[in-house]
Amino acid sequence: MQTERKNAIRQTVIDTASRLFYKQGYANTGINQLIEESGVVKSSVYTAFRTKEDILMAYLETAGAATDKALQAAADQKDTPKERVLAVFDFMAGMVQEKEYYGCQFLNIISEIPLDNERVIKQIQKQKNGVRSLFAKLLEPIGKQGLADEIYLLFEGALIANKVHHQVWPVLIAKRIATQLIDSSK
């Protein structure tokens, strides 16, 4: 029973942190706000997490798993490798048009943390390398896994351009270029 309670407290803190970090940023979210909005007493928060950075790591791990699952699910709805890659862009196009979309969680955090924070950077790189690997896996059946990095750069560039312009067009252009790359490569 004690373990269930600890897990519930931990999950409540992660859920609250996820909402706050995503909407207002890591640096702009104080530990006191996180404690207050989670409804978890301070001592329990510090029992579950030693530092605010530990909470951030849990957030990144949770968000990474959810993102990986969502991208894979989008790809799995299609049949051909090309359609599966393009479905990832379609998923992104839908996501960036949602009212509560504030940009890529990982790009948002990487822009806030110091360059020497290797722990957080490695976690973000792990997630982003997972996206690169997904594209390689999707393209492998047609022998075009060598395009994975190019497709990945289009994907990331579209996320960044969307953050700047708050429009869907960067995603649509990235999808069009990805289509051309897949169709023209040998």
The answer to whether residues 135 and 66 belong to one domain is: yes
Same domain, 94 and 148: yes
Q: Are residues 71 and 146 in the same domain?
A: yes
Q: How many domains does the chain have?
A: 2
Residues 19 and 76 in one domain: no
Residues 14, 104, single domain; the answer is no
**Do 20 and 33 form a contact (C-beta atoms < 8 A)?**
yes
Can you tell me the distance from the alpha carbon of 159 to that of 80, in angstroms, rounded to the nearest whole number? 24
What average pLDDT does the segment 104-121 reach? 95
Whether 38 contacts 11, CB under 8 Å? no
- Asked if 185 contacts 144 with a C-beta cutoff of 8 angstroms, the reply is yes
pLDDT, tens digit, for every residue of 129-143? Answer: 999 999 999 999 999
- State the pTM of this model: 0.92
For residues 151 and 163, what is the distance between their CA atoms, to the nearest angstrom? Answer: 19
DSSP string, 46-73: HHH-SSHHHHHHHHHHHHHHHHHHHHHH
Cβ atoms of 128 and 156 within 8 Å: the answer is yes
- Report pLDDT for 186: 63
Residues spanned by the domain of 44? 1-50
> Hey, CA dihedral for 156, 129, 89, 67, is it positive or negative?
negative
The pLDDT assigned to 7 comes to 86
**With helix as H, strand as E and coil as C, how does 73-113 read?**
HHHHCCCCHHHHHHHHHHHHHHHHCCCCCCCCHHHHHHCCC
> Are 130 and 162 found together in one domain?
yes
Residue 172's domain is classified under what CATH number? 1.10.357.10
Identify the CATH number of the domain in which residue 33 sits.
1.10.10.60
> Could you report the per-residue pLDDT of 22-69, keeping only the tens digit for each?
999 999 999 999 999 999 999 999 989 999 999 999 999 999 999 999
Which positions ≥6 away from 78 have C-beta within 8 Å? 84, 86, 87
